[in-house]
Amino acid sequence: MAKIIKPDICVIGGGAAGLSVAAGAAAFGVPVVLIERGLMGGDCLNHGCVPSKTLIAAARHAQAIRTAGRFGLTASEPAVDYERLHARIHEVIAGIAPHDSVERFTDLGVEVLQSSARFVDENTVAAGDHLIRARRFVIATGSSPAIPDIPGLDNVPFLTNETLFDLTRLPAHLLVVGAGPVGIEMAQAYRRLGAEVTVIETRRALSGADPELASIAIAALRAEGVVLHEATTILAVEQGGGKVVLRCKNGTGAFLVEGSDLLIAAGRRPNHASLGLSAAGIDHNAKGIEVGSNLRSSNRRVYAIGDAAGGLQFTHVASYHARLVLQQLLFRLPAREDRAIVPKVTYSDPEIAEVGWSEAEAREKFGAVEVIRADLALSDRARTDGVEAGLIKIVVGSRGRILGVGIAAPSAGELINMWSLAVANGMTLKQVRGYVAPYPTLSEIGKQAVISYYAPLAKNAVVRSAIRALRVFG
């Protein structure tokens, strides 16, 4: 006989989004049940952000050794111990895992059920031998790699982000299908570690980013030896002679690409197929669960957050959604998602970071806008660090309001933080102009861009006349 549980909140999914809701509610003494069928910590900890950024860090050090000659040091081709790198990746995961563990959340007062979840009606979820009838449900089941429909792919072994970090050897020639953030990040990292890398993309590489910024990162990849085929269709995939073969076609005709390993990085799909959503009256589609700006589904008892809700697929979005839902569930305060304040970062080198409206989006939404740019070459710190390419773009609306910012630069993900604050608070260039940037830092480039916006005032006839008049007073 099933055991019936009646918590205040039932969270389905133990990734970043679900854990944030469970921990936040438990901190206020609210009864919470958390259901997770797989690894606690979800994709970010086990297959995504944590292992990928550990790999990228190793690749960055390898590239520093390779290019040390420009700083007067002895450069060499780095010797990569991939088994040791594999061990380090999993050491980092293991070091973070206790924070997301069943034991920690049990200690917080959360009842954790390690089972699959399925709605049996609008008010009830079944999980193992339990029936959960909560006041509110929060679906935070995340997403999985989307597998494109390529003829022959079913008969060829391939990697995704869920299996890539299990490799204990360096691929000789990695073929990457997809040139979104994940594809580009992994392509550059493996190239820096010594693999040959070829990337195939049906559209423009980094098509979700501002083209002007994306072109800087793509040029850097190609300069490092990554082969990138854009606007290219994969007709079929085959295996023979111990190699993976992609039959491709683009504007120049048909061609073959051969490699040792195949990585599929063609986007993600939500994990909601097994939840029995129709039984609960929850509207959904292939992109995710349909929610309003308050993240509530068509079933008023149920919210969906993070990748489950479609939209932006970032761990920090999951945390943002968790806060919005907790605000409503615990304090009965209205909350609305504002995607314009959410920063997006691609961790290539240089990184690409954006927040707010892009130039194209702003022109479409607001009409007349101004765009101010500053080249990273103007930064003294960029010169000392040997950074040759980079850019900041600031999209400016009426009365100098900052509508959006995009940066292509080393550590752009760090540099965007101040601008995220500015966009979220509706700040103007005048307010940013007043802050003092430490010298020498890359962040100065933003201040220089703002100053350039006001530079024409120095030649304004009215302003010059006023200054002349004030000189009369000594």
CA angle 77, 217, 162 (to 5 degrees): 75
Annotation-wise, does 361 bind a ligand? Answer: no
Helix (H) or strand (E) holding 430: helix 429-433
Taking the C-alpha atoms of residue 179 and residue 25, their distance in angstroms, rounded to an integer, is 38
β pairing state of 196-200 and 268-270: unpaired
Q: Is 179 annotated to bind ligand? A: yes
The reply to whether 181 sits in an annotated binding site is yes
379-394 in b/e form (b: 16+ CB < 10 A) is bebbeeeebebbbbbb
267 is in an annotated binding site: yes
Distance, CA of 303 to CA of 200 (rounded, Å): 37
The position carrying tokens 């391939």 is 158
What gap in Å lies between CA 48 and CA 314, rounded to an integer?
10
For residue 199, list its beta bridge partners.
176, 228
- Say if residue 185 carries a ligand binding annotation: yes
Say if residues 358 and 423 touch (Cβ distance below 8 Å): no
Does the bond joining 350 to the residue before it have cis omega, within 30 degrees of 0? yes
Q: What does the buried/exposed string (b/e) look like for 106-118 if buried means 16 or more CB atoms within 10 Å of the residue's CB?
A: eebebbbbeeebb
- The full DSSP string for 160-205 is -HHHHTT--S--SEEEEE--SHHHHHHHHHHHHTT-EEEEE-SS-T
194/66 Cα distance (integer angstroms): 10
143 has binding-site annotation: yes
- Is 142 annotated to bind a ligand? Reply is yes
Phi, psi of 233 (to 5 degrees): -100, 135
The residue length of the chain stands at 474
Question: According to the annotation, is 307 in a ligand binding site?
Answer: yes
For residue 240, say whether it is annotated as part of any ligand binding site.
no
Q: For residues 179 and 185, what is the distance between their CA atoms, to the nearest angstrom?
A: 9
Q: Quick check: helix, strand or coil at residue 149?
A: coil
Residue 183 marked in a binding site? yes
241 is in an annotated binding site: no
> Is there a contact between 25 and 32 (Cβ–Cβ < 8 Å)?
yes
DSSP symbol at 159: B
Type of residue at 315: T
Residue 182, annotated ligand binder? yes
Query: Is residue 53 a known part of a binding site?
Result: yes
Residues comprising the binding site for FAD? Answer: 53, 141-143, 307
Residues comprising the binding site for NAD(+)? Answer: 178-185, 201, 267
Residues comprising the binding site? Answer: 53, 141-143, 178-185, 201, 267, 307
